[in-house]
Amino acid sequence: MWDFETEPEFQEKLDWVREFAREYIEPIDLVYPGRQFDPLDDETRPLVEPLKQRVKDEGLWAVHLGPELGGKGFGQVKLALMNEILGTTQWGPVVFGTNAPDTGNAEIIAHYGTEAQKEQWLKPLLEGECFSAYSMTEPTAGSDPRMFKTTAVRDGEEWVINGWKYFSSNARSARFVIVMAVTNPDVHPYKGMSMFLVPTDTPGFVLERNIGVGTESEEHGNHALIRYDDVRVPLDNLLGGEGNAFVIAQTRLGGGRVHHAMRSVGTCQKALDMMCERVLSRETAGSLLADKQMVQQDLADSYADLMQFRLLVLYTAWKIDRYQDYKRVRKDIATIKFLTPKVLQDVVWRAMHVHGALGTSNEMPFGRMWQGIPSMAAVDGPSEVHKITVAREMLKDYKPSDGLWPSEYLPTKREEARAKLAARLEHEIANS
Protein backbone atom coordinates (compact mmCIF):
# COMPACT_ATOMS: atom_id res chain seq x y z
CA MET A 1 0.00 0.00 0.00
CA TRP A 2 1.36 3.40 -0.98
CA ASP A 3 1.43 6.05 1.73
CA PHE A 4 3.01 9.49 1.68
CA GLU A 5 2.14 10.37 5.28
CA THR A 6 4.25 10.08 8.42
CA GLU A 7 2.65 8.10 11.24
CA PRO A 8 1.05 10.51 13.73
CA GLU A 9 3.31 9.56 16.65
CA PHE A 10 6.50 10.33 14.77
CA GLN A 11 5.01 13.42 13.17
CA GLU A 12 4.58 14.78 16.70
CA LYS A 13 8.29 14.21 17.24
CA LEU A 14 9.14 16.02 14.01
CA ASP A 15 6.94 18.94 15.01
CA TRP A 16 8.78 19.09 18.33
CA VAL A 17 12.17 19.02 16.56
CA ARG A 18 11.12 21.84 14.22
CA GLU A 19 9.91 24.06 17.06
CA PHE A 20 12.92 23.21 19.24
CA ALA A 21 15.31 24.05 16.41
CA ARG A 22 13.63 27.38 15.72
CA GLU A 23 13.37 28.51 19.34
CA TYR A 24 16.59 27.19 20.88
CA ILE A 25 19.13 26.19 18.22
CA GLU A 26 18.82 29.01 15.68
CA PRO A 27 19.78 31.68 18.26
CA ILE A 28 23.02 29.79 18.92
CA ASP A 29 23.62 29.61 15.15
CA LEU A 30 23.31 33.37 14.90
CA VAL A 31 25.53 34.27 17.86
CA TYR A 32 28.13 31.49 17.47
CA PRO A 33 28.22 30.75 13.72
CA GLY A 34 30.68 28.16 12.48
CA ARG A 35 31.72 27.09 15.98
CA GLN A 36 29.65 23.92 16.21
CA PHE A 37 32.71 21.67 15.95
CA ASP A 38 34.85 23.63 18.38
CA PRO A 39 35.21 22.16 21.87
CA LEU A 40 32.58 23.63 24.17
CA ASP A 41 33.93 26.48 26.30
CA ASP A 42 32.67 28.63 29.16
CA GLU A 43 30.40 30.52 26.76
CA THR A 44 28.87 27.71 24.74
CA ARG A 45 28.76 24.86 27.25
CA PRO A 46 26.02 26.39 29.46
CA LEU A 47 23.92 26.91 26.34
CA VAL A 48 24.47 23.62 24.52
CA GLU A 49 24.62 21.00 27.28
CA PRO A 50 21.08 21.69 28.58
CA LEU A 51 19.76 21.40 25.01
CA LYS A 52 21.46 18.03 24.61
CA GLN A 53 19.78 16.87 27.80
CA ARG A 54 16.37 18.00 26.58
CA VAL A 55 16.91 16.04 23.37
CA LYS A 56 17.85 12.97 25.43
CA ASP A 57 14.79 13.43 27.63
CA GLU A 58 12.68 13.52 24.48
CA GLY A 59 14.24 10.23 23.31
CA LEU A 60 15.82 11.78 20.21
CA TRP A 61 19.54 11.62 21.04
CA ALA A 62 21.78 9.63 18.65
CA VAL A 63 18.73 7.91 17.19
CA HIS A 64 20.76 6.42 14.33
CA LEU A 65 21.95 3.63 16.66
CA GLY A 66 20.05 0.83 18.34
CA PRO A 67 18.67 0.77 21.90
CA GLU A 68 21.60 -1.34 23.11
CA LEU A 69 23.82 1.65 22.31
CA GLY A 70 21.60 4.34 23.75
CA GLY A 71 19.73 5.22 20.55
CA LYS A 72 16.31 4.42 19.13
CA GLY A 73 17.44 2.49 16.08
CA PHE A 74 15.58 4.82 13.71
CA GLY A 75 15.68 3.63 10.14
CA GLN A 76 16.87 5.80 7.27
CA VAL A 77 13.42 7.23 6.53
CA LYS A 78 12.97 8.63 10.02
CA LEU A 79 16.56 9.83 10.08
CA ALA A 80 16.03 11.52 6.73
CA LEU A 81 12.95 13.37 7.96
CA MET A 82 14.83 14.54 11.05
CA ASN A 83 17.86 15.62 9.03
CA GLU A 84 15.62 17.65 6.74
CA ILE A 85 14.87 19.85 9.76
CA LEU A 86 18.35 19.81 11.27
CA GLY A 87 19.80 20.76 7.88
CA THR A 88 18.38 24.25 8.35
CA THR A 89 20.71 24.80 11.33
CA GLN A 90 24.45 24.66 12.05
CA TRP A 91 24.36 23.46 15.66
CA GLY A 92 21.36 21.14 15.28
CA PRO A 93 23.25 17.92 14.46
CA VAL A 94 25.60 18.50 17.43
CA VAL A 95 22.70 19.10 19.82
CA PHE A 96 20.97 15.92 18.58
CA GLY A 97 24.09 13.75 18.50
CA THR A 98 23.79 13.21 14.76
CA ASN A 99 26.64 15.37 13.45
CA ALA A 100 29.01 14.19 10.76
CA PRO A 101 31.49 12.60 10.80
CA ASP A 102 30.56 11.24 14.25
CA THR A 103 27.40 9.48 13.07
CA GLY A 104 29.24 7.46 10.45
CA ASN A 105 32.13 6.71 12.80
CA ALA A 106 29.74 5.61 15.53
CA GLU A 107 27.90 3.39 13.09
CA ILE A 108 30.97 1.47 11.98
CA ILE A 109 32.36 1.10 15.52
CA ALA A 110 28.96 -0.22 16.61
CA HIS A 111 28.88 -2.59 13.65
CA TYR A 112 32.49 -3.75 13.49
CA GLY A 113 34.08 -2.82 16.81
CA THR A 114 34.92 -5.18 19.64
CA GLU A 115 33.26 -4.77 23.02
CA ALA A 116 36.42 -3.14 24.35
CA GLN A 117 36.50 -0.70 21.41
CA LYS A 118 32.87 0.21 21.95
CA GLU A 119 33.52 0.94 25.61
CA GLN A 120 36.62 3.02 24.92
CA TRP A 121 35.60 4.90 21.78
CA LEU A 122 31.90 4.55 21.08
CA LYS A 123 30.51 5.23 24.54
CA PRO A 124 32.03 8.73 24.96
CA LEU A 125 31.12 9.53 21.35
CA LEU A 126 27.48 8.65 21.94
CA GLU A 127 27.35 10.55 25.19
CA GLY A 128 28.55 13.68 23.43
CA GLU A 129 31.76 13.83 25.44
CA CYS A 130 34.04 14.05 22.42
CA PHE A 131 34.30 14.48 18.66
CA SER A 132 35.92 12.14 16.14
CA ALA A 133 37.30 12.39 12.61
CA TYR A 134 37.49 10.13 9.56
CA SER A 135 40.96 10.17 8.02
CA MET A 136 40.72 8.65 4.55
CA THR A 137 41.47 11.07 1.69
CA GLU A 138 45.13 11.65 0.75
CA PRO A 139 46.87 14.55 -1.03
CA THR A 140 47.51 12.40 -4.10
CA ALA A 141 44.37 10.26 -3.97
CA GLY A 142 40.84 11.42 -3.30
CA SER A 143 38.17 9.63 -5.29
CA ASP A 144 40.30 6.53 -5.93
CA PRO A 145 41.33 4.89 -2.63
CA ARG A 146 43.25 2.26 -4.59
CA MET A 147 46.00 4.88 -4.91
CA PHE A 148 46.43 5.42 -1.17
CA LYS A 149 50.02 5.44 0.08
CA THR A 150 49.58 5.62 3.86
CA THR A 151 50.76 2.33 5.34
CA ALA A 152 50.31 0.42 8.56
CA VAL A 153 52.97 -2.20 9.30
CA ARG A 154 52.79 -4.65 12.15
CA ASP A 155 55.71 -4.48 14.56
CA GLY A 156 55.38 -6.90 17.44
CA GLU A 157 52.30 -5.94 19.46
CA GLU A 158 51.77 -2.67 17.59
CA TRP A 159 50.81 -1.24 14.23
CA VAL A 160 53.07 1.51 12.90
CA ILE A 161 51.32 4.04 10.64
CA ASN A 162 53.13 6.34 8.19
CA GLY A 163 51.78 8.68 5.54
CA TRP A 164 49.72 11.76 4.84
CA LYS A 165 45.97 12.35 5.01
CA TYR A 166 44.10 15.34 3.65
CA PHE A 167 40.71 16.92 4.39
CA SER A 168 40.23 14.93 7.59
CA SER A 169 37.20 16.92 8.68
CA ASN A 170 36.94 17.91 12.33
CA ALA A 171 40.36 16.51 13.26
CA ARG A 172 41.29 19.65 15.16
CA SER A 173 38.56 18.94 17.74
CA ALA A 174 38.64 15.15 17.61
CA ARG A 175 39.73 12.92 20.48
CA PHE A 176 40.42 10.14 17.98
CA VAL A 177 40.43 9.49 14.24
CA ILE A 178 39.62 6.43 12.18
CA VAL A 179 42.39 6.13 9.62
CA MET A 180 42.44 3.96 6.49
CA ALA A 181 45.85 2.52 5.59
CA VAL A 182 47.48 -0.07 3.35
CA THR A 183 48.37 -3.18 5.37
CA ASN A 184 49.16 -5.55 2.50
CA PRO A 185 50.47 -3.96 -0.72
CA ASP A 186 50.84 -7.35 -2.42
CA VAL A 187 47.11 -8.03 -2.83
CA HIS A 188 44.29 -6.16 -4.52
CA PRO A 189 43.61 -2.85 -2.72
CA TYR A 190 40.08 -4.01 -1.88
CA LYS A 191 41.68 -6.71 0.28
CA GLY A 192 44.85 -4.94 1.32
CA MET A 193 43.57 -1.99 3.37
CA SER A 194 42.52 -1.77 7.00
CA MET A 195 41.13 0.77 9.45
CA PHE A 196 42.56 1.84 12.77
CA LEU A 197 41.41 3.82 15.80
CA VAL A 198 44.08 6.42 16.55
CA PRO A 199 43.97 8.86 19.49
CA THR A 200 44.95 12.34 18.32
CA ASP A 201 47.42 12.72 21.20
CA THR A 202 49.46 9.73 19.99
CA PRO A 203 53.14 10.61 19.38
CA GLY A 204 53.76 11.08 15.67
CA PHE A 205 50.22 12.28 14.94
CA VAL A 206 50.94 15.71 13.48
CA LEU A 207 48.16 18.06 12.43
CA GLU A 208 50.13 20.16 9.97
CA ARG A 209 47.38 22.70 9.33
CA ASN A 210 43.65 23.18 8.93
CA ILE A 211 42.27 24.00 5.51
CA GLY A 212 39.38 26.40 5.21
CA VAL A 213 36.65 26.12 2.59
CA GLY A 214 36.25 29.05 0.24
CA THR A 215 37.14 32.26 2.05
CA GLU A 216 37.48 30.66 5.49
CA SER A 217 40.73 31.44 7.26
CA GLU A 218 43.10 28.72 8.45
CA GLU A 219 42.05 29.58 11.98
CA HIS A 220 38.47 28.66 11.19
CA GLY A 221 39.21 25.87 8.75
CA ASN A 222 37.85 22.48 9.70
CA HIS A 223 39.59 20.12 7.28
CA ALA A 224 43.02 18.94 8.40
CA LEU A 225 46.21 17.96 6.64
CA ILE A 226 47.67 15.24 8.87
CA ARG A 227 51.09 13.61 8.87
CA TYR A 228 51.42 10.16 10.41
CA ASP A 229 55.05 9.84 11.44
CA ASP A 230 55.70 6.41 12.95
CA VAL A 231 52.38 6.52 14.80
CA ARG A 232 52.19 3.43 17.00
CA VAL A 233 48.91 1.96 18.16
CA PRO A 234 48.18 -1.40 19.85
CA LEU A 235 47.02 -4.34 17.79
CA ASP A 236 43.64 -3.96 19.48
CA ASN A 237 43.11 -0.65 17.66
CA LEU A 238 42.53 -2.47 14.37
CA LEU A 239 38.85 -1.95 13.47
CA GLY A 240 36.83 -4.68 11.82
CA GLY A 241 39.68 -7.04 10.98
CA GLU A 242 42.65 -6.77 8.67
CA GLY A 243 41.86 -6.14 4.99
CA ASN A 244 38.24 -5.06 5.56
CA ALA A 245 38.56 -1.30 5.10
CA PHE A 246 36.56 -1.13 1.86
CA VAL A 247 33.64 -3.09 3.28
CA ILE A 248 33.60 -0.88 6.37
CA ALA A 249 33.85 2.30 4.30
CA GLN A 250 30.81 1.43 2.19
CA THR A 251 28.77 0.72 5.31
CA ARG A 252 29.76 4.11 6.64
CA LEU A 253 29.29 6.17 3.49
CA GLY A 254 25.97 4.77 2.26
CA GLY A 255 23.79 6.12 5.04
CA GLY A 256 25.85 9.29 5.31
CA ARG A 257 24.99 10.23 1.74
CA VAL A 258 21.29 10.02 2.56
CA HIS A 259 21.83 12.32 5.56
CA HIS A 260 23.81 14.81 3.44
CA ALA A 261 21.03 14.82 0.86
CA MET A 262 18.21 15.41 3.33
CA ARG A 263 20.10 18.13 5.14
CA SER A 264 20.47 19.72 1.70
CA VAL A 265 16.71 19.38 1.21
CA GLY A 266 16.28 21.40 4.40
CA THR A 267 18.74 24.01 3.14
CA CYS A 268 16.91 24.29 -0.19
CA GLN A 269 13.54 24.61 1.52
CA LYS A 270 14.88 27.45 3.66
CA ALA A 271 16.22 29.18 0.53
CA LEU A 272 12.87 28.73 -1.21
CA ASP A 273 11.02 30.13 1.80
CA MET A 274 13.22 33.24 1.72
CA MET A 275 12.65 33.54 -2.01
CA CYS A 276 8.87 33.44 -1.62
CA GLU A 277 8.96 36.06 1.12
CA ARG A 278 11.21 38.29 -0.96
CA VAL A 279 9.08 38.29 -4.11
CA LEU A 280 5.99 39.16 -2.08
CA SER A 281 7.83 42.01 -0.34
CA ARG A 282 9.83 43.68 -3.11
CA GLU A 283 8.34 45.93 -5.78
CA THR A 284 10.13 47.08 -8.90
CA ALA A 285 9.06 48.60 -12.24
CA GLY A 286 5.56 49.18 -10.94
CA SER A 287 4.70 45.73 -9.60
CA LEU A 288 5.77 43.05 -7.14
CA LEU A 289 8.51 40.66 -8.09
CA ALA A 290 5.90 37.95 -7.57
CA ASP A 291 4.01 39.29 -10.59
CA LYS A 292 6.98 38.98 -12.95
CA GLN A 293 6.65 35.93 -15.16
CA MET A 294 10.37 35.10 -15.12
CA VAL A 295 10.32 35.17 -11.32
CA GLN A 296 7.26 32.91 -11.36
CA GLN A 297 9.18 30.56 -13.63
CA ASP A 298 12.06 30.44 -11.14
CA LEU A 299 9.64 29.74 -8.29
CA ALA A 300 8.01 26.88 -10.17
CA ASP A 301 11.33 25.39 -11.27
CA SER A 302 12.69 25.55 -7.72
CA TYR A 303 9.62 23.87 -6.28
CA ALA A 304 9.72 21.12 -8.92
CA ASP A 305 13.47 20.53 -8.46
CA LEU A 306 13.14 20.33 -4.70
CA MET A 307 10.08 18.07 -4.56
CA GLN A 308 11.47 15.59 -7.08
CA PHE A 309 14.75 15.43 -5.20
CA ARG A 310 13.10 15.10 -1.79
CA LEU A 311 10.92 12.20 -2.92
CA LEU A 312 13.90 10.39 -4.47
CA VAL A 313 15.91 10.76 -1.27
CA LEU A 314 13.05 9.43 0.86
CA TYR A 315 12.50 6.57 -1.59
CA THR A 316 16.19 5.69 -1.34
CA ALA A 317 15.99 5.79 2.46
CA TRP A 318 12.90 3.55 2.31
CA LYS A 319 14.74 1.01 0.14
CA ILE A 320 17.65 0.91 2.59
CA ASP A 321 15.23 0.23 5.44
CA ARG A 322 13.37 -2.36 3.38
CA TYR A 323 16.32 -4.39 2.12
CA GLN A 324 19.00 -3.68 4.76
CA ASP A 325 21.55 -3.95 1.97
CA TYR A 326 23.49 -0.89 0.83
CA LYS A 327 24.80 -2.72 -2.23
CA ARG A 328 21.25 -3.37 -3.45
CA VAL A 329 20.48 0.36 -3.19
CA ARG A 330 23.83 1.49 -4.58
CA LYS A 331 22.36 2.98 -7.76
CA ASP A 332 19.88 5.16 -5.87
CA ILE A 333 22.44 6.26 -3.28
CA ALA A 334 24.82 7.32 -6.07
CA THR A 335 21.99 9.16 -7.84
CA ILE A 336 21.05 11.30 -4.86
CA LYS A 337 24.74 11.94 -4.26
CA PHE A 338 25.33 13.63 -7.61
CA LEU A 339 21.94 15.35 -7.57
CA THR A 340 22.59 16.99 -4.18
CA PRO A 341 24.96 19.75 -5.41
CA LYS A 342 22.93 20.30 -8.57
CA VAL A 343 19.66 20.91 -6.73
CA LEU A 344 21.45 23.07 -4.16
CA GLN A 345 23.03 25.12 -6.92
CA ASP A 346 19.79 25.69 -8.82
CA VAL A 347 17.54 26.49 -5.87
CA VAL A 348 20.01 28.54 -3.82
CA TRP A 349 21.14 30.52 -6.85
CA ARG A 350 17.58 31.54 -7.77
CA ALA A 351 16.79 32.53 -4.19
CA MET A 352 20.02 34.46 -3.81
CA HIS A 353 19.61 36.19 -7.18
CA VAL A 354 16.10 37.45 -6.48
CA HIS A 355 17.47 39.22 -3.39
CA GLY A 356 19.78 41.28 -5.61
CA ALA A 357 22.89 42.79 -4.03
CA LEU A 358 21.56 41.97 -0.56
CA GLY A 359 21.57 38.28 -1.45
CA THR A 360 25.31 38.36 -2.17
CA SER A 361 26.15 40.10 1.11
CA ASN A 362 27.17 38.65 4.45
CA GLU A 363 23.94 39.98 5.91
CA MET A 364 22.02 37.09 4.36
CA PRO A 365 22.73 33.35 4.78
CA PHE A 366 23.13 32.57 1.08
CA GLY A 367 26.93 32.76 1.17
CA ARG A 368 27.17 29.81 3.55
CA MET A 369 24.60 27.88 1.52
CA TRP A 370 26.47 28.61 -1.72
CA GLN A 371 29.80 27.46 -0.31
CA GLY A 372 28.24 24.11 0.49
CA ILE A 373 27.60 23.37 -3.19
CA PRO A 374 31.17 22.56 -4.29
CA SER A 375 31.69 20.69 -1.03
CA MET A 376 28.69 18.46 -1.70
CA ALA A 377 30.02 17.83 -5.21
CA ALA A 378 33.34 16.55 -3.84
CA VAL A 379 32.82 14.90 -0.44
CA ASP A 380 32.36 11.12 -0.39
CA GLY A 381 33.53 10.99 -4.01
CA PRO A 382 33.01 13.49 -6.85
CA SER A 383 29.73 13.59 -8.74
CA GLU A 384 31.35 12.23 -11.89
CA VAL A 385 32.30 8.99 -10.14
CA HIS A 386 28.76 8.51 -8.89
CA LYS A 387 27.32 9.08 -12.35
CA ILE A 388 29.55 6.30 -13.64
CA THR A 389 28.28 4.06 -10.83
CA VAL A 390 24.65 4.82 -11.73
CA ALA A 391 25.22 4.04 -15.41
CA ARG A 392 26.96 0.76 -14.65
CA GLU A 393 24.27 -0.32 -12.18
CA MET A 394 21.53 0.58 -14.68
CA LEU A 395 23.06 -1.49 -17.46
CA LYS A 396 23.15 -4.60 -15.28
CA ASP A 397 19.38 -4.88 -15.85
CA TYR A 398 19.69 -4.86 -19.65
CA LYS A 399 21.19 -6.95 -22.44
CA PRO A 400 22.08 -6.23 -26.08
CA SER A 401 19.50 -6.88 -28.79
CA ASP A 402 19.63 -10.37 -30.25
CA GLY A 403 19.55 -9.53 -33.95
CA LEU A 404 20.43 -6.81 -36.40
CA TRP A 405 17.62 -4.48 -35.32
CA PRO A 406 16.70 -3.02 -31.91
CA SER A 407 14.08 -4.95 -29.97
CA GLU A 408 11.58 -2.11 -30.51
CA TYR A 409 12.19 -1.96 -34.30
CA LEU A 410 8.68 -1.35 -35.60
CA PRO A 411 8.72 -3.38 -38.87
CA THR A 412 9.74 -6.50 -36.96
CA LYS A 413 7.24 -5.90 -34.18
CA ARG A 414 4.43 -5.35 -36.72
CA GLU A 415 5.16 -8.69 -38.38
CA GLU A 416 5.12 -10.38 -34.97
CA ALA A 417 1.87 -8.63 -34.13
CA ARG A 418 0.24 -9.68 -37.42
CA ALA A 419 1.26 -13.28 -36.81
CA LYS A 420 -0.10 -13.15 -33.26
CA LEU A 421 -3.42 -11.62 -34.38
CA ALA A 422 -3.75 -14.13 -37.23
CA ALA A 423 -3.27 -17.01 -34.81
CA ARG A 424 -5.82 -15.51 -32.42
CA LEU A 425 -8.32 -14.98 -35.27
CA GLU A 426 -7.86 -18.57 -36.44
CA HIS A 427 -8.45 -19.78 -32.90
CA GLU A 428 -11.67 -17.74 -32.59
CA ILE A 429 -13.01 -18.99 -35.93
CA ALA A 430 -12.26 -22.58 -34.99
CA ASN A 431 -14.20 -22.22 -31.73
CA SER A 432 -17.21 -20.40 -33.23
Structure confidence by residue, pLDDT tens digits, 326-381: 889 999 999 999 999 999 999 999 999 999 999 999 999 999 899 889 989 888 78
DSSP code of residue 40: P
CA angle, 71 then 72 then 73, to 5°: 100
Is the alpha carbon torsion for 184, 187, 188, 191 positive or negative? negative
Instruction: Work out the angle at residue 57's Cα, subtended by the Cα atoms of residues 51 and 58, and round it to the nearest 5 degrees.
Output: 90
Strand bridging mode 174-182 / 131-135: parallel
193 beta partners: 182
pLDDT bracket for residue 125 (50, 70, 90): confident
Spatial distance between the Cα atoms of 126 and 17, rounded to a whole number of angstroms: 19
- According to DSSP H, which parts of 201-329 are helical? 245-281, 293-323
Q: What is the CA angle 285-291-295, rounded to 5?
A: 95
The string of pLDDT tens digits covering residues 217-250 is 767 788 899 999 999 999 999 999 999 998 888 7
Reported as a pLDDT band with limits 50, 70 and 90, residue 106 is confident
User: How wide is the angle at C-alpha 81 spanned by C-alphas 20 and 134, nearest 5°?
Assistant: 90
Sign of the CA dihedral running 253, 255, 348, 210:
negative
Mean pLDDT of 304-315: 97
Residue count of the chain, please give it.
Answer: 432
Handedness of CA 310, 312, 313, 314 (dihedral sign): positive
Query: What pLDDT is recorded for position 1?
Result: 66
